[in-house]
Structure 1
Amino acid sequence: MKKLLSSVVGILIVVALLISAQHYFSAQTGTGDKSGKVLNLYNWGDYIDPALLKKFTKETGYKVSYETFDSNEAMYMKIKQGGTSYDLAVPSEYMIEKMKADDLLLPLDHSKLTGLKNYDSRFLNQSFDRGNKYSVPYFWGTLGIIYNDKYVKAKDIQHWDDLWSSKFKNQIMLIDSARDVLGITLITQGKSVNNKSVADLAAAQGKLTTLMPNVKAIIADEIKMYMAQDEAAIAVTYSGEAAEAMDKNSHLHYVVPSEGSNLWFDNIVMPKNAKHKAAAYAFLNFMSEPKNAAQNAEYIGYATPNKKALSLLPKSVREDKQFYPDEKTVRNLQTYDDLGQKWTEKYNDAFLEFKMTQR
């Protein structure tokens, strides 16, 4: 009897723990909030100031369920599968184009958007979303070169072709991205980053292979940590990642080659299966407020497209051409188009073959 009672008590404890865990999970994700005062946000990791999420909840009453992804493709597949309902997501420009074509987005009601007037006109009405019918700007930036002045002189690393110099043997880290690495190689050959020529892609792959002796590693987010710790002399990475590394190491510098590079945009969109549209519009307007956008830019380190927010940032930030390049440089930058499945696979295959040559 005592043994049986012990078993019953044990079962009750397990049930209680499960109920408690379910209640906790619901409170954290918002899925258990029957009032509907929830916002399901799907974003890149560490891509918003957590204090702003708390501020948004305090001001509006909407609890934020925050889930992250590590690539546009992973985000796309999860939304396409439709198993999870997100109210807002933050894809990059070429993925917005693809999601539009695949009917995965809701058009935005501009009458419910109060902050579009705050954005720099240069970052509105882009080719991937004319009239901003489906998206609101979030951050923008560039692909460039970060280098350590303890090992590299500035004059020796101003252009993409400089990466191929024999003096940089086993000293370069590359971002693990087919579009980016093949893109910069295409630029060195005077081609578009959206090139769809078999011959041009083969030529780029051939040239890229000759870069391998200089490559120390091909990695992703770890680049900023390794560069901050003096683990490499040079890296190819994104402007925001460079900014984070530079905050930790005064010997680091960032350059966008004048011959051209990638100009990327991350915008906020509303997936077609969004369930909390009022919360979504409230968040879009909240993040469009200059003070909030400026706070977010200072926390993340990427460039804000919000013109009024930019005016609130320190002068040293506003006038830093490493992250807010001048018009001449911007004119030579290229945005990625959606290549389509066939050409995306060709780029990925070419990059994979390159990576397989790594010693």
Structure 2
Amino acid sequence: MEYVVRSTLKAAAAVAALLLAATACGSSDDGNGSAATGLNPPDLKAPSKLGKTEGQVNLIAWAGYVEDGSNDPKVDWVSDFEKQTGCQVNSKTAASSDEMVKLMKTGEYDAVSASGDASLRLIASGDAAPVNTALVPNYQDIYSGLKDGDWNSVDGQMYGIPHGRGANLLMYNTEKVTPAPTSWAAVFDDASKYKGHVTAYDSPIYIADAALYLKATEPDLGVKDPYALDQKQFDAAVDLLKQQNANIGEYWSDYLKEISAFKSGDSVVGTTWQVIANLTADEGAKVKAFVPKEGSTGWSDTWMVSAKAKHPNCAYKWLDWIVSPKVNAQVAEYFGEAPANSKACDLTSDKNFCTTYHAADEGYWKNIAFWNTPIEQCLDGRTDVKCVPYAKWVQAWTEIKG
């Protein structure tokens, strides 16, 4: 996840380093099913109006989301916010969704840029409060596909303001992988053709990628949502990944290593992000990246307000600021994601940025199953079985990698 047209690898690395430590972000299959999950969060109320700002706001964020010029003098959207609102920004960079959840439980922070796995947990535990979107004027310009998602709402009540989104793509070396793949079969059923040169994202949430493939190729399994797997479905996904493991050359979590591997030929096919594909091509590697015919997993982040926020008025000011057109454009380019605000695309420095990242293409995003947290309560609405919770995904991932 990263930034402005990637002029240098060094600049990109500064932003991505911590993000790649995160294990999970965003949603279920169709983006509109929170009621089906049976999730019953505490009865918390969103404010009906804002009061006087409190002079400061304490934020938890991914690296690259709260930039004040200290990392790069040219990258600063915090200073103007402080001048305009009088709210001094104090931010803590989190390295994982688990860390975000733990920090939010302390009650010391006002808002968090939660990914989908964290957001669902924060809603269920009552650590995140519902938001009154009417108090966030820029919310009206957020793309519809980011509103009322399984990962940021319950029964039509939003629990945050969407920040941006990205897809997990299939990248391949155009000279060594022929014919051009159209399916995730290239890294699963056909992976033996590229034995030792297949790469995959190093995270338990990658089990969902296998489930997504099985949803299309083994319909008898009945997978509806790659994050809602009963034991039989889960075992099938794990078995597929164990078979894949024999052909894996490297699991990537450091995106610079993925770029290097594709440049050297050590990797010729595997999962990636758009920003990584851009950088890899910029480095001279002959690669293409796309969403295969089965669709893809992906991530979406949401700014959520703590139920214990000591500075809620400044928090709301921040929520509106970070998704304002100019700032959202800056963040999206710096971070390497599609912006959430539909007016941001007119303000990106790279006029092709939003086309590359499919920002306004809702048809594209309908094929993305955003990351979500697997829980025993099946997210696809089934009540006759229990689904495998995320802790078991973590255990299985260790077994898959051997």
Quickly name the TM-score band, shorter chain normalised.
0.7 to 0.9
**Distance in 2, Cα, partners of 1:65 & 1:244:** 31
The aligned residue for residue 241 of structure 2 is: 208
**Distance in 1, Cα, partners of 2:400 & 2:108:** 38
Q: How much does 1:246 deviate? A: 4.5
Contact 2:174 2:180 in 1 (8 A): no
The amino acid across from 1:171 in the alignment is: H
Out of 188, 194, 209, the residue aligned to residue 213 of structure 2 is 188
The aligned residue for residue 309 of structure 1 is: 344
The aligned residue for residue 223 of structure 1 is: 255
Quick check: 1:269 aligned with 2:304? yes
After superposition, what is the alpha-carbon deviation per residue over 1:130-151, rounded to whole angstroms, capped at 9, x for unaligned? Answer: 4453200101111112334354
Give me the TM-score of the superposition, normalised by structure 1: 0.79
| Closer, same or farther: CA 339–239 of 1 in aligned 2, 3 Å | same
Contact 1:57 1:64 in 2 (8 A): yes
| Closer, same or farther: CA 312–102 of 1 in aligned 2, 3 Å | same
Out of 46, 52, 56, the residue aligned to residue 38 of structure 1 is 56
After superposition, what is the alpha-carbon deviation per residue over 1:28-75, rounded to whole angstroms, capped at 9, x for unaligned? Answer: xxxxxxx95222111112345441122322333332222111221221
Q: How much does 1:260 deviate? A: 1.6
Partner of 1:270, secondary structure, is: strand
**Distance in 1, Cα, partners of 2:96 & 2:125:** 18
The aligned residue for residue 187 of structure 2 is: 163
The aligned residue for residue 198 of structure 2 is: 172
Contact 1:227 1:233 in 2 (8 A): no
Contact 2:165 2:300 in 1 (8 A): yes
Q: How much does 1:307 deviate? A: 0.6
After superposition, what is the alpha-carbon deviation per residue over 1:107-142, rounded to whole angstroms, capped at 9, x for unaligned? Answer: 223342121112112211223314453200101111
Quick check: 1:339 aligned with 2:374? yes
**Distance in 2, Cα, partners of 1:63 & 1:240:** 31
The aligned residue for residue 319 of structure 1 is: 355
**Distance in 2, Cα, partners of 1:241 & 1:62:** 35
**Distance in 2, Cα, partners of 1:305 & 1:246:** 26
Contact 2:160 2:304 in 1 (8 A): yes
Quick check: 1:283 aligned with 2:318? yes
Partner of 1:137, secondary structure, is: strand
**Distance in 2, Cα, partners of 1:169 & 1:137:** 40
The aligned residue for residue 112 of structure 2 is: 89
After superposition, what is the alpha-carbon deviation per residue over 1:202-247, rounded to whole angstroms, capped at 9, x for unaligned? Answer: 1111111111132122231x12443156253233133444445455
Contact 1:173 1:223 in 2 (8 A): no
After superposition, what is the alpha-carbon deviation per residue over 1:318-358, rounded to whole angstroms, capped at 9, x for unaligned? Answer: 323x64485554333223443226521222222110011xx
| Closer, same or farther: CA 240–310 of 1 in aligned 2, 3 Å | same
Give me the TM-score of the superposition, normalised by structure 2: 0.71
**Distance in 2, Cα, partners of 1:108 & 1:328:** 27
Quick check: 1:67 aligned with 2:92? yes
Partner of 2:168, secondary structure, is: strand
Relative to its length, the structure with more helix (as a share) is: 1
**Distance in 1, Cα, partners of 2:359 & 2:132:** 30
Partner of 1:90, secondary structure, is: strand
The amino acid across from 1:227 in the alignment is: I
Say which one has the larger Rg: 1
The aligned residue for residue 174 of structure 2 is: 149
Contact 1:224 1:242 in 2 (8 A): no
Quick check: 1:258 aligned with 2:281? no
Contact 2:200 2:270 in 1 (8 A): yes
**Distance in 2, Cα, partners of 1:335 & 1:54:** 32
The aligned residue for residue 125 of structure 2 is: 102
Structure 2: segments with no counterpart, 5+ residues? 1-52, 69-75, 216-222, 377-387
The amino acid across from 2:353 in the alignment is: V
**Distance in 2, Cα, partners of 1:108 & 1:327:** 24
| Closer, same or farther: CA 245–279 of 1 in aligned 2, 3 Å | farther
Report percent identity of matched pairs: 23
**Distance in 1, Cα, partners of 2:352 & 2:268:** 25
The aligned residue for residue 115 of structure 1 is: 138
State how many pairs are aligned.
316
